[in-house]
Structure 1
Amino acid sequence: MAKSQVKIKQTAGRDALGAFAPEFARLNDDVLFGEVWSRNDLLSLRDRSVVTVVALMSQGLTDSSFEYHLESAKKNGVTRTEMAEILTHAAFYAGWPKAWAAFRMAKEVWADETDGAAPGSLEAYAQTLLFPVGRPNDAYAEYFVGRSYLAPVAAGGAPVVNVTFEPGCRNNWHVHEADEGGGQTLVCVGGRGYYQLWGQEAVELRPGDAVYIPAGVKHWHGAAPDSWFSHLAIEVPGKGCSNEWLEPVSDEEYAKLK
């Protein structure tokens, strides 16, 4: 049995351009939306929203029309988690900077989704992220004070991992060793945290901040005392790369942070 069609009514073209470009307005309202978008017996509104969002993102068009189609995607049943995965997948084909721009707008559109998670919980925090939290970081737990989580984002080329720290969690002082090249880039994607180079003051990190830590430099990074924190850890290619874990960041040192 054929699905019933839902006729899409659109007036944006006539509202904005009816007097200046009436034929363009007619094509936008009556053909694009009135006919193409209304063929939902062939392709659902949800699927058309996904296709449109990816097409606009691939062109770098993150303007008011992109926001409109994100809101339409949400209205048509695309969840925050699904949109995050859609944009992550598209990033490898459309371009990483375009995905960042799309994520910033998508995060605002889905900002009201909390799914009833308790405030301050991992579940509530995870819903603010556009990258997965992943699994408990049990393999490296001995090198962390507090609980952390790992979620691989990209395995090929330069490996990228999303690392999430519970409030107060930080890793030990450590050094990325390399015979040539190496080091690590951190890109904050959620919450509030810090990194500190040996002999220098700790530096606060907020979403969008990025820092390169060269090989051979002793340092640590982790969450602020009162906030969850997530960063992408991007390993810089090099030769003879290894990691040397050192002593924990003492409670006295950490207590100096705000």
Structure 2
Amino acid sequence: MAKKQTAGRDILGEFAPKFAELNDDVLFGDIWAREEKLSPRDRSMITVSALIAGEIAEIITHLSFYAGWPKAWSAFHIAKGIFKNEKKAGQHMTSDQLSNSTIFPIGEKIEANFTGDAYLQMIFTDETPLNASIGNVTFASGARNYWHSHKIGQVLLVTGGEGWYQEEGKPAQLLKTGDVINIPPHVKHWHGATKDSWFVHLAITPGETDWLEPVHDDLYYTL
């Protein structure tokens, strides 16, 4: 059980009461205290990884005033090679290009239950204290998984590119870096890349997955 956070009220309770409330009750109370789902260490690792991928240019810009302009130029050249994801619409990226655009290793190509090129790198298995597997899934443009559901549910943390998430009978949702999807148990759904962009997410899955039929082109290409 995490210790209740009171630093906000202790230090800023009178001067900034609303900030203190959000700090103690929401950020460190509701979100970060849910250790039964994800430990603070793992939650921090995933959050920082996603933020670095999405905000790397801003980070280097701020640091340039302290580290110096020449070092900033050098850092930008390196960052462009690692995080670059620009490509012409409809152009398929190679596995090497995908690997250079992701935070975690691209892993092995997935052969079953996916349309197009997708890759999986397991980070944790369900033998860990989390009682959930955590996998990094990378989709090439146009790739998506089949319709499926999870017996206990699943959480998706988007770390790069653009993709779709759709539950049966509902409109598809466009996903970008930093988005989080909480999938309820037994809800039929699919997720994958857009037609013109690669897509990467972490999938936190505490139970079994029931795989169903493919997502047909006549549905996918109308998005």
Match of 1:169 in 2: 143
Match of 2:210 in 1: 244
Structure with more relative contact order (C-alpha pairs < 8 Å, separation 6 or more): 2
How far 1:93 moved relative to its partner?
9.8
Q: 1:193·1:223 contact (CA, 8 Å) conserved in 2?
A: yes
Match of 1:197 in 2: 167
Q: How many residues align?
A: 155
**Pair 1:128–1:215, CA change in 2 (3 A):** same
Distance 1:114 1:98 in 2: 22
**Per-residue deviation, residues 130-177 of structure 1 (Å, max 9, x unmatched):** 111111113xx2x11112111011221221000111111111111212
Query: 1:171-186 counterparts in 2 under 5 A?
Result: 171-177=145-151, 182-186=152-156
Q: Aligned partner of 2:94: which letter? A: S
- Structure 1 counterpart of 2:158, from 182, 185, 188: 188
Distance 2:133 2:44 in 1: 20
Higher Rg? 1
Distance 1:226 1:212 in 2: 25
SS at match of 2:218: helix
State the TM-score, normalized to the length of structure 1: 0.53
Distance 2:156 2:47 in 1: 18
Unaligned runs of at least 5 residues, structure 1: 1-91
- Structure 1 counterpart of 2:122, from 124, 132, 152: 152
**Pair 1:95–1:123, CA change in 2 (3 A):** same
**Pair 1:101–1:243, CA change in 2 (3 A):** closer
Q: Aligned partner of 2:168: which letter? A: W
SS at match of 2:79: coil
Match of 1:128 in 2: 101
SS at match of 1:227: coil
Q: Give the % identical residues.
A: 39
**Per-residue deviation, residues 38-72 of structure 1 (Å, max 9, x unmatched):** xxxxxxxxxxxxxxxxxxxxxxxxxxxxxxxxxxx
